[in-house]
Amino acid sequence: MVTARSEKEIELMRESGRIVAQALDAIELELRPGITTKDLDKIAEDYIRSQNAQPSFLGYVPRGARGTKPYPASICASINEEVVHGIPSPKRVIKEGDIVSIDVGAFKNGYHGDSARTFIVGEVKPEVHHLVKVTEMCLTLAIKEAVVGKRLHDISAAVQTYAESFGFGVIENMVGHGIGTKMHEEPPVPNIGKAGTGVFLREGMVLAIEPMINLGRSRKAKILSDTWTAVTADGKPSAHFEHTVVVRKGKAEILTLSRLPKTLLATEEGATIQLAS
Q: What is the pLDDT of residue 68?
A: 81
User: What is the C-alpha to C-alpha distance for residues 151 and 123, in angstroms, rounded to an integer?
Assistant: 39
Average pLDDT of the residues in 257-265? 68
Average pLDDT of the residues in 27-46? 97
Q: What is the pLDDT of residue 1?
A: 84
Let me know if 268 is exposed, middle or buried by CB neighbors in 10 A (0-12, 13-18, 19+): exposed
Range of weakest confidence among 98-107, 183-192, 214-223: 214-223
Q: Other CB atoms closer than 10 Å to residue 257's CB: what's the count?
A: 18
Higher pLDDT, 67 or 112: 112
User: What is the C-alpha to C-alpha distance for residues 268 and 147, in angstroms, rounded to an integer?
Assistant: 14
> How confident is residue 270, by pLDDT bands cut at 50, 70 and 90?
very low
User: CB–CB of 154/206 below 8 Å?
Assistant: no
Strand, coil or helix: 255: coil
Q: What is the pLDDT of residue 261?
A: 75
Average pLDDT of the residues in 86-107? 98
Q: What is the pLDDT of residue 264?
A: 38
CATH of domain 7-254: 3.90.230.10
Q: What is the pLDDT of residue 75?
A: 98
Q: What's the Cα-to-Cα distance from 1 to each of 141, 224, 237, rounded to whole Å? A: 26, 31, 35
User: CB–CB of 188/208 below 8 Å?
Assistant: no
User: CB–CB of 19/53 below 8 Å?
Assistant: yes
Strand, coil or helix: 11: helix
Q: What's the Cα-to-Cα distance from 151 to each of 38, 198, 203, rounded to whole Å? A: 39, 6, 12
Tens of pLDDT, residue by residue over 155-207, are 999 999 999 999 999 999 999 999 999 999 999 999 999 999 999 999 999 99
Higher pLDDT, 212 or 63: 212
Domain ranges of the chain: 7-254
> How confident is residue 67, by pLDDT bands cut at 50, 70 and 90?
confident
> How confident is residue 262, by pLDDT bands cut at 50, 70 and 90?
low
Return the percentage of the chain with pLDDT > 70, whole number.
Answer: 94
End-to-end CA distance of the chain: 43
Return the percentage of the chain with pLDDT > 90, whole number.
Answer: 89
Q: What is the pLDDT of residue 181?
A: 98
Q: What is the pLDDT of residue 273?
A: 30
Q: How many CA atoms lie within 13 A of 70 on its CB side?
A: 7
